[in-house]
Copies of this chain bind each other. A is one copy, B any other.
Amino acid sequence: VGLIGGSIGLAARRSEDVTVAGWDPDRQALELALERGALDSAAGSVAEALDGAEVCFVCAPVGDVAATARAALECGGDCVVSDVGSVKAAVLDALGDCDPERFVGGHPLAGAEASGVEHARAELFEGATWYLTPTERTSGMLYDRLYRTVAGLGARPTAIAAATHDRLMATVSHLPHVMANVLVGQAARELVEESQALPATGPSFRDATRVAGANPPLWRDIFVSNRDAIVQELDAYAGALDEVRRRLRAGDGAALERWIEDARADRQRLLEGELGGGRVSELRVPVPNRPGIVAQIALALGEAGINIVDMALYPAPDMRSGAIALWVAGEGSAERAAALVADLGYAATPVGGGEG
């Protein structure tokens, strides 16, 4: 009953005819969940929590999902058992022939920003994709029950094959984490060799390594659980890097330029799809880096109803100036944002992005 389990409880209990029982190996978390109203009752065991249950969500860390799901399935009954882990095929493999009719993997795309039941909230899943990974052995009736339950939490249940899910996550989440960890290690080694401090260049290194070193035990489990898909992604990635290497060696400027242009089109397309708010535009605003500037700009845009979908601050080496990068979505909002920023006395430039 952490962030996800607690939020499921809070969201489910909005319906009067739903009763939520919870169990957690951490007694304090369980009591806090009860206090916060995420549970009707705190159970002393998995079996007690599942007594008479129709749907069970296993919200354990990735490495513990299979064992906990197995414990839940072994309690019997006609309860559909699901989980919320970010890796899916490994759990199915580990469960093997353990009641395959009643287990359906799940993964809500929400809650990355914090952990713990103290941050749980009923609206966490509102509008979020919630992947479900039924197999050909899944009971149709139980899948339907799970689907409706997830929809009732406010999420958009989306069926996907476990292997496809894992490959997607490997591409958009696990591979970026590998890249960040590798890059930061490489830079650290080289800067020591050269006895150089990290030069305060543009934002690319900072962005590229922002998730480096993220939660080691959690990510160890994700990497191990999804290793097959990640290795496959790494192979494709290594192949693509090799192609870039070939073009570099050949000094093929035209091919390199086309490749960058393709990357620009790809990112635009991917992010527009993700954000769903229409065309996303980037603006850069060089500003003095004193406290309050961000507020001033954000406030002016906020008052005009422009919602900032992504934002980054890039302090200049002197820490007295820098730039704010803003991504705004929707027709005409870039122009309106630029005008508002100009009214404040700053110049906003639409960007192709990236330092030179």
Q: Are B187 and A270 in contact (CB under 8 A)?
A: yes
**How near does chain B come to A170, taking the closest CB pair, in angstroms?**
9
Q: Are B292 and A109 in contact (CB under 8 A)?
A: no
Q: Which of the residues B178, B180, B295, B317 comes within 8 Å of A129, measured between beta carbons?
A: B317
List B contacts of A177 (CB < 8 A).
204, 354
Cβ of A186 within 8 Å of any chain B Cβ, yes or no, is: yes
Cβ of A305 within 8 Å of any chain B Cβ, yes or no, is: yes
User: Secondary structure at chain A's binding surface: helix, strand, loop or mixed?
Assistant: helix
Most buried by B among A181, A194, A237, A299: A181
Bound complex: CA A289 to CA B178 (Å): 29
The chain B residue with its CB closest to the CB of A161 is: B194
- With A186-B237, A241-B237 in contact, do A210 and B207 touch (Cβ < 8 Å)? yes
Bound complex: CA A115 to CA B356 (Å): 10
Q: Are A253 and B221 in contact (CB under 8 A)?
A: yes
Bound complex: CA A115 to CA B202 (Å): 14
Quick check: which of A30-38, A139-147, A308-316 contacts chain B, the rest being far away? Answer: A308-316
List B contacts of A273 (CB < 8 A).
197-198
Bound complex: CA A67 to CA B224 (Å): 53
Cβ of A102 within 8 Å of any chain B Cβ, yes or no, is: no
The chain B residue with its CB closest to the CB of A243 is: B182
Q: Which of the residues B185, B211, B316 comes within 8 Å of A207, measured between beta carbons?
A: B211
Q: Are B356 and A114 in contact (CB under 8 A)?
A: no
Q: Which of the residues B200, B264, B318 comes within 8 Å of A216, measured between beta carbons?
A: B264
Binary contact track A327-356/B, C-beta < 8 Å → 1, others 0: 000000000000000000001010011111
The chain B residue with its CB closest to the CB of A222 is: B356
Cβ of A248 within 8 Å of any chain B Cβ, yes or no, is: yes
- With A219-B356, A223-B256, A249-B227 in contact, do A182 and B214 touch (Cβ < 8 Å)? no
Jot down 25 A-B pairs with beta carbons below 8 A, ordered by A: A86-B355, A119-B349, A124-B321, A168-B196, A168-B199, A171-B186, A172-B187, A176-B204, A184-B267, A185-B262, A200-B274, A209-B267, A210-B312, A214-B354, A216-B352, A219-B257, A223-B256, A227-B251, A234-B244, A238-B242, A277-B319, A290-B302, A292-B298, A294-B294, A295-B295
| Known A164-B196, A172-B201, A310-B313; 7 more pairs at CB < 8 Å | A112-B355, A127-B320, A203-B211, A208-B208, A219-B257, A238-B238, A298-B298
